[in-house]
A and B are shown apart, each in its own frame.
Chain A
Amino acid sequence: GAGVSQSPSNKVTEKGKDVELRCDPISGHTALYWYRQSLGQGLEFLIYFQGNSAPDKSGLPSDRFSAERTGGSVSTLTIQRTQQEDSAVYLCASSSAGGSYNEQFFGPGTRLTVL
């Protein structure tokens, strides 16, 4: 399994609960990205990690959203006190930033439903 993996694939939660979404990037990829995609919409950038640099958090919609990347590999996106408008598919991608192509590879996504 050399691709990007995400878990869970589906998450249903109640409004006000906290959720954690996980992303395992392709081994050796130094860059990791989180995006949000609402139904029928484009990709909304949330955050990206590049090596040991401070993450670019400019896309996080509120302080209820946070993400970390441990050991330069696995990343967790946490949403606190979920709201119904948080319902969306959360996509993770990784790339070997610095290479010729810098091509992003996407995971299958986590579909979050907030009731």
Chain B
Amino acid sequence: ELKVEQNPLFLSMQEGKNYTIYCNYSTTSDRLYWYRQDPGKSLESLFVLLSNGAVKQEGRLMASLDTKARLSTLHITAAVHDLSATYFCAALPASGTYKYIFGTGTRLKVLA
């Protein structure tokens, strides 16, 4: 059974700093998703990673996937306050089911 773990659960960082959020999953998966959720809002899709070595970048966020290590990372470069949100990763099992497994989320707070 696929399990997804994110860390850290909470992250408080200063503006201008860099940091990485980690998403580990337990069994084979070749599709990894990152979402952002602002307080009181729904989830917004950020990145879809489909293959080993995939790297996607949007602004100050960069996501990567290493299927051999069963690890995806979301890297934040020179954080700004607007990036404060909760970030979720989700994986799809390689077994053909479309039941997404979500991580617990990382609550990011960027301090001015």
List the interface of chain A (C-beta within 8 A of B).
31, 33, 35, 41-43, 45, 48, 50, 56, 91, 93, 95, 97, 100-109
Contacts and interface: CB of A to CB of B under 8 A. Distances in A.
Given A31-B98, A101-B50, A43 B42 contact: no
B99 to A, nearest CB: 6
Given A43-B105, A56-B99, A101-B48, 14 more contacts: A41-B104, A42-B105, A48-B98, A48-B99, A91-B43, A93-B43, A101-B31, A103-B45, A104-B45, A104-B90, A105-B45, A106-B43, A107-B42, A108-B42
Top 9 A-B pairs ranked by shortest CB distance? A106-B43, A42-B104, A97-B98, A106-B42, A43-B102, A42-B105, A101-B48, A108-B42, A31-B98
Interface of B, helix, strand, loop or mixed by DSSP: strand
A103 B48 CA distance: 7
Interface residues of B, number: 22
Nearest to B45: A103
B65 interface: no
Contact of B92 (A45, A91, A100, A102): A102
Max chain A C-beta neighbours (<10 A), residue from B50, B98, B104: B98
A40 B101 CA distance: 18
Contacts of B22: none
A45 B99 contact: yes
Interface string B92-107: 1000011111111100
Max chain B C-beta neighbours (<10 A), residue from A41, A45, A104: A104
B98 A50 contact: yes
B25 interface: no
A35 B44 CA distance: 15
Max chain A C-beta neighbours (<10 A), residue from B33, B99, B101: B99
